[in-house]
Structure 1
Amino acid sequence: MFRLLTLLSAIVINHSALTQNRPVATIIRELHDPASKQVLVVAHRGDWRNAPENSIRSIESAIAMGVDVVEIDLKKTKDGVLILMHDETIDRTTSGHGKPEDYTWSELLTLTLKNGHGGPTRQRIPTFEECMQLAKGRVMVNIDKGYEYYQEAYTILTKTGTVEQAIIKSDKTYEQVKTEKGNLLGGRLTYMPIINLGKPSADAIIQAYAETLKPVAYELNFSQDSLLIKSRYQIIPQTGSKIWFNSLWASLDGGHDDERSLEEGQPEAGWNWLIEHGATLIQTDHPQELIDYLRKKGLHP
């Protein structure tokens, strides 16, 4: 009987460890703490390897893993509803065909999502509002493809009380963003610039943001190590901002990607290389494996 009770107790404890995540306020505080060396994990389109991308199930699965940020994409329906969708068409990820803006929200509800292998599921396309209600108090949300819907997204974030949980971004210069969305900059909605270090203007764009907006983080993309090393990216932590790297595929990180870290079994040349070069946020297609790796190094709670 004692052994049975001990086993049941262990099961309860393990289940608790799997399902209890730190509150989003802790993640937000970590994000805005320039002195923190913890690495925040961003799940690309949720846990799309085990559930349809940009779906409620993929977000829920990523939260259960203990990720800090879930990355999503936005599109708008014919009747003005913001939905989670990456592509310009719904062909790849749903049972339908055509563009999201050709459908009303009620029409899209008749469709189902496909899994990562293109197989059918019973999951439905979620709205942005549903996404934020799910994320509320639990995880931060990075709105990737969504800059053109900045104002509508902000309205929904305000309605759901999740403004501080969202990060919105674009590859535009500070002057462009100020002209187009200036009324939303500097407020509670976090904006993050995306910098392609292969562009000749990359250093100037970083400098302009550093002197004006002082963003909480910069997303840096580079196809070769030299583009990063020769850039002025070192000024980013000096100005109190964090560095976001993508380990999704080689063209975004000089080959220090998920594939090298996992399939090739070289995490020190993959994820750790990014960490050694200043990463305090990493977006990945393998969030559970990255979390496990970071925890072994004492870089994730």
Structure 2
Amino acid sequence: MPLRKIIVPLTAAAAVLAVTATAAVLKAPATSPPASPQRLLAQHGPGAAIMIAAHRGYWRGAPENSLGAITQAVTHGAQIVEIDVQRTSDGELVLMHDDTVNRTTNGTGRVADQTLAQIKALRLRAGLGGGQAPVTDVTVPTLREAMQAVQRTGTIINLDKAWGYRDQIYDLLVELGQLDQGLFKGSAPVAEVTAFLDRDPRILYSHVVDDGNAGDIGAFPGRKPQAYELIFDRLTDPQIQPAAVVKARTTSRVWINTMWYGLAAGYTDEASLRDPALGWGSVVGRHGADMIQTDNEDLLGEWLKARARGQQWPVVPEGTVRVQAEDYSTAGKGVGYYDTDDTNSGGAARKYEGVDVGDNAGAIVVGWIRPGEWIRYDVTVPRTGDYRITARVSSPYKPAGRFTLDFGAQGVTAPVDVLTTTSHDAFTDQVVAEKRLSRGTLSFVLRIDPAAYQNFNIDYFELRRP
């Protein structure tokens, strides 16, 4: 299996995603970029630069849909930041994906039933939220605040869930002088969209296309959308057929989402980290995407740079030993592993053995971990020296789990409490130990604490020279 991309270990605060985001407005860079997001958006067809859209902002460093997530997404390479809009009971537009505040804040109830003051009294949960995600001191931003946060950067804000508020948003963008920074989106009938676009030639719009409205591609009688956002769960869907993509690229950009399964027929961010041909490489090379919405904007940017240079990607640094969690010992039950039952609950790899191996949106992981289980790994250490040992883990729970790594004669690590990442699909590199290892072949055993609650996934381990 191709190597997966290294994720730089986070600080403890960032790893639990409990970052207190600032609401500071980003300052324009000292040197202007080669092309503004607006100029890039106006380009389409073969040769157009690929644009990066950050899904709900950079939620790995700040709560989703927060001002910090928006500004960090820009610094991590996004030209477009996707946000979600809801309206309060007193008519104010705020950023919230769900129609309730339950998942992402310390409050409860529908956004539409609460005033702006009530919404502002809440605090956002870290990362992707959830009942066990830490509560930060970050408040829910208004759309006005979000637009002002990017006013000096030219960054385009993709307005999801906002079509029903389009007239109010249009007035706000005109007032702020930022109509060229708001990208409306929707899948309303062509006539309805055309009527809105005819209101002002400066309006930016992306048309969402799935199986039900595939015929909309090329059907706009006047102004064309800046992009067609293609949603497809099978490569047989009409909207992703070559002729449809060519028609879209004739007038507009082609936007494809790679966050999870169901959006682009199995092409995902996590699959891309294993091998770009499983995700980003195919949506660009085979399906003509020149806009990609991602949860990994910095890594997508790295791949695009490597692609432009004709370089292989990802590359594990020399001297680093990466051990995929599913590549455990082949010695068999009782020698190579102990699992509480003989069923592979995930079946994503080595399906006829007892270790539970699952597929998390393209990441192949060991999951369904239970107290008292253990797994052996056999590795070759290239040279004697000090190594930093990390594990790429995910869990929405707190506590999430506890384990040690047993290196036999070379010692056992201190117990490791698995970090809360706010989702099973949100992985982070967690430092396990600093350890001196001898050159040659060795085995280590992942030992799951029999007395602790366990509910986490492991993607891989790394032994890396500091």
- Shorter-chain TM-score above 0.5: yes
C-alpha distance in 2 between matches for 1:95 and 1:289: 31
C-alpha distance in 2 between matches for 1:229 and 1:222: 10
Could you tell me which residue of structure 1 aligns to residue 255 of structure 2?
A: 244
SS at match of 2:236: helix
Could you tell me which residue of structure 1 aligns to residue 202 of structure 2?
A: 188
The CA deviation at 1:22 is 4.7
Runs of 4+ aligned structure 1 residues displaced above 6 Å come to none
Flag the structure with higher strand content: 2
1:213-270 CA deviation, whole Å, 9 max, x = no partner? 32111000100112222662221112x31100001112010111112112xx021221
Query: Structure 1 residue aligned with 2:160, among 141, 144, 148?
Result: 144
Change (3 A) 1:230 1:279: closer
The CA deviation at 1:100 is 1.0
If asked which structure has higher relative contact order (CA below 8 Å, sep 6+), I would say 1
2:226 maps to 1:229: no
Could you tell me which residue of structure 2 aligns to residue 174 of structure 1?
A: 190
SS at match of 1:193: strand
The CA deviation at 1:24 is 10
The TM-score with structure 1 as length reference comes to: 0.85
2:230 maps to 1:220: yes
Letter in 2 for 1:33: Q
Could you tell me which residue of structure 2 aligns to residue 283 of structure 1?
A: 293
2:72 maps to 1:81: no
1:94-151 CA deviation, whole Å, 9 max, x = no partner? 1111111211111211110011252211100000000000011311110011001101
C-alpha distance in 1 between matches for 2:259 and 2:52: 12
Could you tell me which residue of structure 2 aligns to residue 8 of structure 1?
A: none
Could you tell me which residue of structure 2 aligns to residue 130 of structure 1?
A: 145
2:275 maps to 1:266: yes
C-alpha distance in 2 between matches for 1:252 and 1:22: 34
Flag the structure with higher helix content: 1
Letter in 1 for 2:148: Q
Change (3 A) 1:246 1:21: farther
C-alpha distance in 2 between matches for 1:108 and 1:282: 31
Pairing 1:198-213 to 2, within 5 Å after superposition: 198-199=211-212, 201-202=213-214, 204-209=215-220, 211-213=221-223
2:61 maps to 1:50: yes
Query: Structure 2 residue aligned with 1:70, among 70, 81, 89?
Result: 81
Letter in 2 for 1:268: A
Could you tell me which residue of structure 1 aligns to residue 355 of structure 2?
A: none
Contact 1:24 1:140 in 2 (8 A): no
SS at match of 1:275: helix
Contact 1:113 1:121 in 2 (8 A): yes
The TM-score with structure 2 as length reference comes to: 0.56
Query: Structure 2 residue aligned with 1:156, among 154, 172, 178?
Result: 172
The CA deviation at 1:272 is 0.7
C-alpha distance in 1 between matches for 2:87 and 2:69: 20
The CA deviation at 1:173 is 2.0
Could you tell me which residue of structure 2 aligns to residue 112 of structure 1?
A: 123
Letter in 2 for 1:42: A
C-alpha distance in 2 between matches for 1:20 and 1:69: 20
C-alpha distance in 1 between matches for 2:34 and 2:144: 18
